[in-house]
Structures are given as C-alpha cells and as structure tokens.
Structure 1
Amino acid sequence: MPKLSAYEKEREANIARNKALLEQLELKQAVESLGFPAKSAPPKTKAKPVQPVKKSKKKEEELPRRQSARLRNTAAVDPNDSPSKKRKREAEEQERLAKESEERLANEEREYLAKRPRHVDLSLVDLTDEGVEVASLAAQLQNIAQAVRPKRAGDVDVFVFEENEKDEAEVKELRKKLQGLKIVARAKVTENRVYSAVYHPDPTKDLIFFGDKHGQLGMWDARAPPDEGDDEDESNTDTKEDGKYWRLQVHWPATSQSSISSVKLDPVDSHTVYTSAYDRSVRALSFTTGISREVFTNDDDTLISCVDVVPNGHEMWIADAAGGVTHLDLREHKSKGKWYQLSTQKIGCLSVNPTRTNFLLTASNSREMRIWDIRKLESMVSDLALDETTSEFDSEVVNQYRESEGSTGLLRGEWRHEKSVSSAYWDPRGRSIVSTSYDDSIRLWDIHSTAFDSPKPFPSSRPFTRITHNCQTGKWLTILRAQWNPNPDVYPHFTIANMNHSLDIISCKGERIARLSDPSKITAVQAVTCSHPSTVERAATGNASGRCVLWAPADD
C-alpha cells in the first residue's frame, strides 16, 4: 500500500471528523450523501392501540373568503366633502363601532355562559355532537328500557361455610370459569381518561357505561355489529374497534372540572343512569325519555366524590370533598337533602349495605374506614332537640351527638389505615367489606350476621386478611378501586387493576382466582373495572386514554 502524503492524511482525518459530527447532529441525509451506511430501523412493537372508526365525510363546500370589516364598511373619503357630510360620516362610523362593540360583548357573554355548569334539562341533541345519529341512539335507549331488570339482592348467610374445603371448591369452580377470559372487544369509548364505569344487567348484550375526565359518558355496546357506513380495514384486526359506542356530554364544561366521579344504575328497573361529577352536580339520564335532568347540586364549591343509590330506588347518598355525606330523597326537591359532616377530610367513597340498608360505609382521606347506622343520624334532630328545619350538621354537631347518651350505635365500627383509604365497598350479601389504601394494601372484613342485630358496636373491627397490592397510581392514572362482582348467585369475588397492565380477580377470602393479561393488545394500566351483574364470565376495563376492553370467553 503506497504511503499517504501529509495532505491525504489530513483529508482522511477531516472526513472522519465530519462523519462523527453529522451523526451526532442526526443529519441523516447529509450522512447518506457522503456514502456512509444508514442505521437500521427500530423494531415495531406488537401491541397497537385501537383506533377510532373513521366515518365517511361529505365533501365540504368552499365558503367565501372573509373580508376586512374596515374595507367592507368604510367608504372612500372625499376631501371635497362638505362639513355636514363629514359629520354624518363620522356619526355612522361611531354607530358602526358601537354596534360591533355590543356584538363582541354579547359573544363574550355567550362564551362565558357556555363554560358554566348546566342546570337545566338536556335532550339527546344537547348531549351529542353534530353529526351523531340521535335517532339511532334514542332507539338504542328505548330498546334497553323495554325490559325491567331490577338489582337482585343477596343473602347475608349464603356462601358461608364452616369447612375450608367448601370455600376451596367454590374458588376452584370460579377459577375454571374466569381464568380463561380473553380480550374479545376493544374501543376508544371516551375521549379522555376513564374515571368510573358500570355494567348494565341486560343478559342479551354487553352494555357498559364509562365516565371520563371531561364529563363525558360513553355508552358501549361491545358486541354489536358495526354500522354499514363505517370505513373499516378488515385486514388490520389488531387496531380496529369493536362494537358501537355513543359519547354523551352529560356534565359541562368539557374540562377536568367536570370529571365523572361515579356512575350508578337505577336499582329498581335499570332504566336510568346516575352520574356524579366535579362540577358539583348529580344528573340522571332516563332511557325512556332521553332527557338528562339534574337531581342534586352543591351551592358551594365542594366537589362531589361519590354516590350510591339505596336498593329501593328512592334514596341516594352523596359524598363530598368536605368530609360530608348528603342524604337525598329522589322523590323530593333537590334542596330537601340533609348534610352530615362525618369526617374532617374528604370522603372519597361510600357504600350502602345492599341487604341491610341502614348501614353506611365511608372511606376518607383521614385514613379511617367507618360503618354508620343511618337510623341514628336521622334521629339526631330529636335527640339533640334541634330545629326540625335544620338540614346541615357540621362536625361539631356530629361530635356533640356522638358524646351524648342517645348516640349509642351511631358508629358501629371503624378501622384506621396507614394511609388514605381510596375505596371501601359492601359485597352483594352485605356481609363482606373490601378496602383499598395508599399504603399498598387490600383489606378484607367478614361481619357475622348477628352483629348487625345488636345496637352495640361490632365486637371486632379488625380485617381478617391483608393483601399487598401496588396502589401508587400517581397523577395520570385513575385511583385503583376493588369492585365486587354484583352477581349475588356466585361466590363473592372482586376485580381490581394491576399496575403490570393486568386484571386481578380475588375471592372474598383473599385468594387470587385469576390474573388476566394480554401484552399483545394491552400496554396500559386498566385502572377502572366492572363486572356483569348476571353473567359470571364478563368483565370490562378502561384506561387513561379512554380505551376500553371487554373480557369474555374466546369461544362465546
């Protein structure tokens, strides 16, 4: 090999420096022009999020271009005009400016009112965006309302065994049904993060309601055939949506100020869905009339965190961020509700006992889970000789009543967690309790039926088991809550999201029944869960992007 001259050596060194500099600046085209080899493309990930179905759009007509208001309304000025014409022209100009100012103020007023919460009755046209087929949505709601499907009550003494072998047999039977569940449908039901969900009891379909961060209620018929007009790519089954869904802007404005904190169905006929939101209101959407009406609103700035409906369908309990609960009779005006401050900090969850409706369960940021006897709360006015028109009882009044002799049995049980209690619910029997907490634990209680009959506090409030579970969702994920399967005919069990992108199903004794996952289709935490009230092999989940999943047997 001939010896390189000093010039050629310096030239080779310059080429090497330029190559390194260009690669450092990621100037791909410049590198390629110098003849350097290109980098290989990164491998594609297996899991792809489902994409919303593209609707066919009509070609928009070209609108006329905007013209300057100054050029459109201002006439050419003639320097030879008489003083009277100049005064007339100036007066017309001032009148025009005044009119434009009035129109601008009117538009600003309309925009301001559009951002305020809505307290009036709203039709389906008001709840949906332009272009949505309201007729098909109304027909779907009417179809749901054809059959009466009341919430079935459980038996407090069912599935109570003295031998452990019987519990193991029930768990084994459930495991056989549930561990084989697969993802059978996916769709982006809501536009934003899913906050809450409820499964409709209709056994002929999989109909789930999801509430999102911006006040939107997504109604998903997960197994429905797609519309004929949908532009689908049949070859790409990994990213296409399944079923049909409708998005209803139930709460307003469409911002995080209207996050739907809970969704409940009417327990009497399931023809009404109740939603509570951070806009300080509770609304009821009737399937028979298609009208959304406001049933409750807070006059102050206190956020509503949770609601539960009493099995008789006439009463509702509402929790708020001020540590209070409101008892509302749905047959009376919304101003007739009574407010009791049961905690010094936010009550994030409450649950009415489904078989003994006099017992109310609350979970708060004060780290306490408590069981209250509602009958004692209602007798507070007479026992303390208060004014019968009193509708608000702050913590001072409640504590005063707790220290009095007549309050025996008001607080039936309590348990202090190590950190805030994010949720606590009664099971369908009204016997077991499951709680979740930021101390990364799931706790389970089993209260004997005889303990409810005595007016004294429960003999023991200690949980019988504690399960380690990561509950550190942070800022961008919905709080993990353990949700009981509402079916009273099966062995009690609950679902809860796992931070490893899976769904855990656990029995009332704390034994894990199944862990459902599919890395090829799920790459996000399924934070919100719910189960079908009558079909055992059904579960639905939702994540932080509004994408929802239906779990069912693959061959169903």
Structure 2
Amino acid sequence: MSDFEEEREANIARNRALLAQLDVSLDIPKKHVTAEKPKVKPVRSAKQRLKREAGPALPTRTSSRLRRSVPDPDETPEKKRKREQEEELLRQKLEQERLEAEERAREVKKPRHDSLEMYAHLEDQEAQEVMALTASLQVTTKTVNARRVGDMNSYQYDEEHHEAAVTELKKKLGGMEIVSRAKVTKERIYSAAYHPEKTKDLIFFGDKHGTLGIWDARAPAEEVEEDGDVASQGDGEGGKSWRMQLHWPNSSHSSISSIRFDPIDAHSVYTSSYDGTIRTTSFVSSISTEILYNENALPTTMDLPPHGHEMWIADSNGGVTHLDLREDKSKARWYQLSEDKIGCLSVNPVVTNLLLTTSNSRVLRIWDARKLQSISIKGKGPYEINAEQLEEFRETKAGKDVMRGEWRHGKSVTAGYWDPHGRRAVSTSYDDTIQIWDIKPEVTQKDAEFPSMRPAHQFHHNCQTGKWVTLLRAQWNPNPDVYPHFTLGNMDRSLDIRSYKGELITKLADKNKITAVQAVTCSHPNILERAASGNASGRCILWAPTDTE
C-alpha cells in the first residue's frame, strides 16, 4: 500500500479502539477497488472508415531536404556525383507518380463517353440482383409498347358531360392509396417515368447524383430477420429496386434531368444529365450508349415525337438542339430561343412540328420546328443559330411565323407540357399559378400565329419549393383513352390530380406514411388507376387501389 493508504488504515484502527472504549460500534466499509473498464472505441462514420481503408489518393509530398540522404564527409567526388544522380532520379519518379495520380483523379471526374454494360454499373452486383433485374426488364421486351396518342377532337364535352366525366374520375381515382413504397435512390429525385408495360408497375427515377433507379413496385419483396426467418415487408413497404450509375461523376454535376422511353417499342430508355450527356440504354442488349454530348451547357429536358426518329433537347444556355437519331450526332443543330435558361421543352404528339418551351425569361412560347429547320447554315459545322441570327430570320417573310404563340408569366416558368391529344397545354410557374390552354385543332393546322394565347383556365398553387425540393411540374396523364387530367405535387405533402379545366379530382395523402413533399410525379400510360411520386430523400410511392392484384 502507499503511504497514504497506510496512514488511512492506522487512523481507522485508532478510531475503532476509541469507539470500543466508549461502547459505540461503527462499521466502516472497506474500500473496494474495481478494475478499470476498458475504453470503448469511438464509432467511426462510413466516410471515415472508407477514407482510412482507402488511404491517400495521391502520393504524400515530403520535404526535399528530408528526402536527401546524409552525405558522407569522406565521400569521393565520384560517389557524390552518383548519389546526386540517384536522388534526381528518385525525385523525377515521385513527380511522375504524382502527375499520373492527378490525371487519374481528373479522369474519374469527367463524364463517361464510351459504351457501358449496364449490369456492370449496378450498385449491388451480386448474381441474384443481376438476375432479378434481367427478369424484370426481359418482360418488357416481349411486347411492343409503342407510344399512343389521342385525337385532337376527342373529349369535347359540354358542361353537363364534363361534370359527369369528372365525377367518374373522382370515383375511380379517389380510392387510390399507398400500396407500395421504397427508397429507390440515395439522393433527391429529379425525374421519373412510368413504363407502359401493363403486366408490371415498372417505374424509372433519376436522382441528383446521376443514378438511375429502377423500381418494380409490385414485385414480391422479402427481408430476412436476425434469427434467419423470412418475413414479408409490412407497413406498405414493398417491391424490388435497383440502382445504376449511368452518368458520371457521382455528384450533383450529373443530375438526371429527364427520362423518356423509346416511343417506338419502349425497349430502351433515354436519359439526359447535367454532365452534358444524353444516353440510351437498351433492355435487349443491356448496353448504354452516348448519343450526344454538350460540354458547354446543361441539358434540362428532352422529348421525342411518337415516330421516334428525332429528339429535341433544351439546355441551360437558352437553346434547343435538334438531333436526327438516324444521322451522326455531329449533324445536330442548335437554336438559341431564349437569353435565359430553358427549363422545359415539349413536342406536340399530334402536330409534331409544334414545340413548347418555358424559360427563366418568364415566358411560355410555341415554335414551328419546320421553319426553324429551314434556316440556312453556312459551312460544315458547328450547326448553330444564335439569338441574333434567329431575330434576323424572324424579320424575313419566311420566318414571320416561326414563333406561333407567346404568353408571359409573372415569374420563371418551370415547366410546360402538351397533353396526349396535342390540343391542351399546362404550365407551372414560380408566380404560384397553373395555366391551362385549350387550343382549337384548326388553329394548330394553319401556318400562322395563333390569334390568341390567353389561357382557358388557371388556378393558384404554391410552387415555392426552395432549395431542397425539386421544382414542381404539372404532368399530364399520358393515357389517351381517359378524360384529360394531370398530376401535380403539393407542398402540403399530397399528390393532387386535376382535370384539364383545373378542378381538383382527388388529393392523395397519408400523414402517417408521408413526411416529405411528393415533388416528382408520373402516371401509367395504359392503366388509369396508377400514379407514382418521389421526394427529396429518394423515397418513392406507388398509388393504386388497395384491392389491385
């Protein structure tokens, strides 16, 4: 024992003797020395563990003074010269390694331009995951799901028949609930598209970091508990999802801005990304190929007419690009239609020469693509028409009606789309209004400016999404066999479905299961009672009748 402990024990003995003389008993417990508990190691985050395991990406730079060997005071001039040569060679070798590592780091951050094997970029590359995805995609290739369009003269009802049609929609769509939900992507959902296959609910989502999420929402899902028993997922969780990193780098510079299926057969999917690339991924060959690259602008959206032979792409520089998919991409033509970013572009599915664009210039415009393509371009490329050249063309007789209509909003117009009948258009704007146009068929057939661009209907809707929520976009139901209506995310965490006159058909919501804004929406092209939505966390929801098999 230490001196302090010995003195303490002596004091206790003297006190016991004194208390014994006074006939007083006192039990003083002896000190119990417990073994020191081992310190618990701090829990490291996933990023710290990966960083520790990976080690430094580049060679560590050290002082040249420390790298030099200590010279021998008795070394001869020959040995000194040899030592200096070795030190110089070592310095050159380290410098070369450093430059090569920096070049590799730069290459990793560049967009991918070569053809990619889609399964090689699957996040979970286990054999079971690949086989499950292959089985889901192969189902879609057994049938031809061509894009269907409606008749411009259809659904021209009077007020009485219109109310009856809306009542019927309320009856069918009002019973939709959450039948499946899953975290399809890790980052914020930017875009979505519903595959037209009738036998499956196959939905594609593009996220902020260039990942394409594929969700088979009604596929049987199982999870294994800790004791090894298999239990089905409850509380609405279900389906099977996969993630593929088709665009690079894995950062916000590669956000997938739009997704479109091949309108001829739906056997491949087109994706546009902020990395400047447009890619097509085939479900038959399982190969992803780049079809266009623009390093000077961000592709914001793209669209294809039903015949599927051409593509129109809008970008952040206020331009649109026309690409004939049967020609080499070097022959693509670029037209600057706005001084500011064009956030959305839509091709009329019936009168395919009518292009609808919305921009940060606060205007919605309708262009005649035939007249844009008639502008002569001198030289062999690049095939570009800037704003000044376009204005000169508009002053000529041939370019008088190149812009068929224009409507100015109060603030930036985030989206605008034609309906599947090619007659109606809907726009979403930061001025908190949803505008709806109903253009007569005979007006669209004439080669002249529209006599009026005043919206037929409008209503107030909160579109102030802020920084962390994807922009709201009113999306038409692409099914031409149903009364025209569209879906729209709501800041109160619901999914609104409205008729083409703006009446609210139903408000899909579930406060117990939904805690985020359902900003991105889409609908099944062939089944009425199907809708999907996604939020900023990558979690997606399938809305359908609960009794659907």
TM-score, scaled to structure 1: 0.81
Checking the alignment, whether the CA contact within 8 Å between 1:505 and 1:512 is kept in structure 2 is yes
Which amino acid counterpart does residue 278 of structure 2 have in structure 1? V
Residue 121 (str. 1) matches residue 115 (str. 2): yes
Checking the alignment, whether the CA contact within 8 Å between 2:475 and 2:488 is kept in structure 1 is yes
Which amino acid counterpart does residue 270 of structure 2 have in structure 1? Y
Partner-residue secondary structure (3-state), 1:196: strand
Q: What is the alpha-carbon root mean square deviation over aligned residues? A: 2.9
Structure 1 equivalent of residue 502 of structure 2: 510
| Counterparts of 1:327 and 1:494, CA distance in 2 | 27
C-alpha deviation, 1:280, in angstroms: 1.2
Structure 2 equivalent of residue 60 of structure 1: none
Which of 141, 148, 151 aligns to 2:137? It is 141
Checking the alignment, whether the CA contact within 8 Å between 2:272 and 2:300 is kept in structure 1 is yes
Residue 333 (str. 1) matches residue 325 (str. 2): no
Q: 1:229 to 1:69 in 2, by over 3 A?
A: farther
Q: 1:209 to 1:130 in 2, by over 3 A?
A: closer
Partner-residue secondary structure (3-state), 2:480: coil
Aligned length: 484
Partner-residue secondary structure (3-state), 2:130: helix
Q: 1:89 to 1:515 in 2, by over 3 A?
A: same
Structure 1 equivalent of residue 194 of structure 2: 199
Structure 2 equivalent of residue 438 of structure 1: 430
Residue 291 (str. 1) matches residue 283 (str. 2): no
Structure 2 equivalent of residue 258 of structure 1: 254
Structure 1 equivalent of residue 409 of structure 2: 417
The 5 Å alignment of 1:184-195 reads 184-195=179-190
Structure 2 equivalent of residue 106 of structure 1: 100
Structure 1 equivalent of residue 275 of structure 2: 279
Q: 1:258 to 1:225 in 2, by over 3 A?
A: same
Structure 1 equivalent of residue 151 of structure 2: 155
Q: 1:230 to 1:154 in 2, by over 3 A?
A: farther
C-alpha deviation, 1:86, in angstroms: 8.4
| Counterparts of 2:309 and 2:139, CA distance in 1 | 24
Structure 2 equivalent of residue 359 of structure 1: 354
C-alpha deviation, 1:276, in angstroms: 0.7
| Counterparts of 1:543 and 1:131, CA distance in 2 | 26
Checking the alignment, whether the CA contact within 8 Å between 1:182 and 1:553 is kept in structure 2 is yes
Which amino acid counterpart does residue 234 of structure 2 have in structure 1? T
| Counterparts of 1:472 and 1:543, CA distance in 2 | 15
- 5+ residue gaps, structure 1, are 1-62
Partner-residue secondary structure (3-state), 1:399: helix
Checking the alignment, whether the CA contact within 8 Å between 1:479 and 1:527 is kept in structure 2 is yes
- 5+ residue gaps, structure 2, are 1-52
Q: 1:78 to 1:520 in 2, by over 3 A?
A: same
Q: 1:375 to 1:69 in 2, by over 3 A?
A: closer
Which amino acid counterpart does residue 436 of structure 2 have in structure 1? L
Which amino acid counterpart does residue 264 of structure 1 have in structure 2? R
Cα displacement string for residues 485-538 of structure 1 (whole angstroms, at most 9, x for unaligned residues): 000000010000000000000001111100000000000000000000001110
Identity %: 55
Cα displacement string for residues 97-139 of structure 1 (whole angstroms, at most 9, x for unaligned residues): 5444433332222121001111111112442236444632334
Q: 1:88 to 1:344 in 2, by over 3 A?
A: closer
Which of 220, 224, 230 aligns to 1:225? It is 220
Which amino acid counterpart does residue 339 of structure 1 have in structure 2? W
Which amino acid counterpart does residue 490 of structure 1 have in structure 2? V
Checking the alignment, whether the CA contact within 8 Å between 1:197 and 1:528 is kept in structure 2 is yes
C-alpha deviation, 1:77, in angstroms: 9.8
Checking the alignment, whether the CA contact within 8 Å between 2:185 and 2:213 is kept in structure 1 is yes
Partner-residue secondary structure (3-state), 2:170: helix
| Counterparts of 1:230 and 1:498, CA distance in 2 | 37
Cα displacement string for residues 428-454 of structure 1 (whole angstroms, at most 9, x for unaligned residues): 000011001000000111011111222
| Counterparts of 1:246 and 1:396, CA distance in 2 | 46
| Counterparts of 2:460 and 2:368, CA distance in 1 | 30
Structure 1 equivalent of residue 5 of structure 2: none
Q: 1:379 to 1:105 in 2, by over 3 A?
A: closer
Structure 2 equivalent of residue 464 of structure 1: 456
Structure 2 equivalent of residue 51 of structure 1: none
C-alpha deviation, 1:421, in angstroms: 0.7
| Counterparts of 1:167 and 1:432, CA distance in 2 | 15
Structure 1 equivalent of residue 378 of structure 2: 387
TM-score, scaled to structure 2: 0.82
| Counterparts of 2:292 and 2:160, CA distance in 1 | 48
| Counterparts of 1:534 and 1:236, CA distance in 2 | 28
Partner-residue secondary structure (3-state), 1:185: strand
